[in-house]
């Protein structure tokens, strides 16, 4: 799907670098197919050393002869960047945005032609090629653009397409989700320390257990409740631990945390739209 394509990445920070590294490793693209842009001249050598791709300070120059332009800048910089390159873009190019809370409509309204736009919301484990990316299509994006975007983000993890009105939920669940799970890992590790285990051993036990449990859900495709019941033997220690979690309202607290984060994501979208 990506063979023969030319990609330009505006903003080769941590996420941009992770995406490029994943593409170079997992796709048909090589270093001659990708150009990146950076904000500071000092970053040019860093990108060249780590990725081997050509780099520029000129976003407009980057868009020339590119099949795909991926914008990986902070949300507050999206307005400036899109307006800067708008008159350079052609309808046969695909524009992908990974800026949180920036809608496809926000991008499209700043363009001068009917450019296909895809909005992506990856999460930080993408830097480990274990990411989860939510994607949605803009007004002019077609099935071919969907396949291209999917191929790009599949290189750093898994992808799912949703309607754009559900992207706030994606942001709250999978983009913010690692932070919630780090708290769970940290808490489990603290319990290990309380029980006399070293912090190093406790953290390994907690993190590997979460990793293994996640793989069980993904690969078995069984409902998490069924997998939980497989661990919970009658009159065993696990049921006592689960009772404590239920009494502490862990389940409803996690649900409320995701809902609250989604409300904030929606608020940020509204703030972004009101600044048009």
- Give 31-80 pLDDT, tens digit per residue: 999 999 998 888 998 999 999 999 999 999 999 999 999 999 999 999 99
| β-strand partners of 131 | 157
CATH superfamily of 7-170: NAD(P)-binding Rossmann-like Domain (3.40.50.720)
Do the two domains 7-170 and 177-263 of this chain adopt the same fold? no
- The Cα 3–Cα 158 span in angstroms is 20
Q: What confidence score (pLDDT) does residue 11 get?
A: 94
The residue with tokens 């490793």 is 25
Domain ranges of the chain: 7-170, 177-263
- The Cα 23–Cα 31 span in angstroms is 10
Q: pTM value?
A: 0.93
Q: Supply the mean pLDDT for the chain.
A: 95
State which fold the 177-263 domain adopts: ProC C-terminal domain-like fold (1.10.3730)
Of 252, 107, 260, 80, the closest CA to residue 171 belongs to 260
**What is the SS3 assignment for 87?**
helix
- The Cα 270–Cα 38 span in angstroms is 28
Per-residue pLDDT tens digits for 110-148:
999 999 999 999 999 999 999 999 999 999 999 999 999
């Amino acid at each position: 799907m990506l063979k023969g394509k030319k990609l330009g990445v505006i903003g080769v920070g941590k996420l941009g670098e992770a995406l490029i590294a994943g593409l170079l490793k997992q796709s048909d693209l090589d270093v001659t197919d990708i150009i990146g842009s950076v904000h500071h001249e000092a970053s040019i050598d860093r990108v060249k050393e780590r990725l081997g791709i050509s780099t520029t300070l000129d976003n407009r120059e980057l868009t020339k002869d590119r099949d795909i332009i991926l914008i990986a800048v902070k949300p507050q910089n999206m307005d400036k960047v899109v307006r800067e390159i708008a008159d350079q873009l052609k309808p046969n190019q695909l524009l992908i945005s990974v800026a949180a809370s920036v809608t496809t409509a926000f991008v499209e309204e700043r363009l001068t032609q009917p450019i296909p736009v895809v909005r992506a919301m990856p999460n930080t484990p993408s830097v480990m090629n274990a990411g989860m990316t939510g994607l949605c299509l803009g007004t002019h994006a077609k099935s071919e653009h969907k396949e291209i975007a999917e191929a790009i983000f599949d290189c750093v993890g898994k992808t799912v397409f949703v309607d754009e009105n559900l992207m706030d939920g994606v942001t709250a669940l999978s983009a913010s989700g690692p932070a919630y799970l780090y708290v769970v890992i940290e808490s489990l590790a603290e319990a290990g320390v309380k029980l006399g285990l070293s912090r190093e051993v406790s953290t390994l036990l907690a993190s590997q257990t979460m990793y293994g449990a996640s793989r069980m859900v993904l690969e078995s495709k069984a409902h998490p409740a069924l997998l939980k019941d497989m661990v919970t033997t009658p009159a065993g220690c696990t049921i006592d631990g689960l009772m404590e979690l239920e009494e502490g309202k862990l389940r409803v607290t996690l649900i409320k945390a995701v809902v609250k984060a989604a409300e904030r994501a929606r608020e940020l979208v509204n703030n972004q739209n009101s600044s048009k």
